[in-house]
């Protein structure tokens, strides 16, 4: 009886931790409300307002002022939404978008997302998608009691993030064309 035993270390396996959708709406409260409504529509979950933490006089921002909206998705819902959002950018992401422990990309207009229809009350808004990747054991550095550092060997490099995205999600790299002036 010939049995093949794979010795893949489960702790080295890369997992999708969370997908975060952001819309920066500025200081107009009407725009913030539109951003919250849009994220509720796209994700099917309740979005929250992002509030300013610091005062920036040039932009007329003060602490506590709503300036955008955010929704975080985890588990199977995150994977489903991520696959829909990748269709909006035709499964192409810039190679520079991959960073340590994740990647991010932007969608210029929400109407590019499949199954999302144009809403005249919202208008045309873009959004930013952040994808966080993790390995088993990452909780050690975030827990409150007895937190500890994680070895650099256990971190996910930008190259590993890109390879995971290509294998799991079918992403290809977007090549920037030079502009002709």
- pLDDT tens across 43-85, in order? 989 999 988 889 988 888 888 888 899 999 999 999 999 999 9
Tell me how crowded residue 30 is: count the other CB atoms within 10 A of its CB.
8
- pLDDT tens across 92-142, in order? 999 999 999 999 999 998 888 888 888 888 888 889 999 999 998 888 888
The pTM score is: 0.84
pLDDT at site 73: 95
Rounded to whole angstroms, what are the CA distances from 3 to 6, 7, 9, 41, 159? 10, 13, 18, 49, 33
């Amino acid at each position: 009886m010939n049995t093949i035993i794979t010795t893949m270390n489960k702790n080295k396996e890369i997992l999708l931790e969370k997908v975060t959708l952001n819309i920066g709406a500025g200081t107009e409260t009407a725009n913030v409300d539109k951003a919250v409504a849009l994220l509720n529509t796209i994700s099917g979950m309740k979005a929250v307002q992002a509030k300013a933490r610091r005062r920036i006089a040039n932009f007329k921002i003060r602490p506590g002022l709503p300036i955008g909206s955010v929704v975080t998705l985890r588990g199977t819902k995150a994977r489903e939404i991520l696959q829909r959002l990748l269709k909006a950018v035709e499964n192409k992401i810039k190679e520079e978008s991959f960073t340590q422990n994740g990647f991010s990309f932007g969608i210029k207009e929400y109407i590019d997302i499949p199954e999302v229809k144009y809403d005249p009350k919202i208008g045309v808004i873009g959004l930013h998608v952040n994808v966080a990747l993790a390995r088993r054991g990452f909780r050690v550095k975030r827990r409150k009691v007895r937190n500890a550092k994680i070895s650099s060997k256990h971190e996910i490099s930008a190259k590993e993030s890109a390879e995971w995205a290509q294998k799991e999600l079918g992403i290809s790299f977007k090549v920037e064309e030079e502009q002709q002036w």
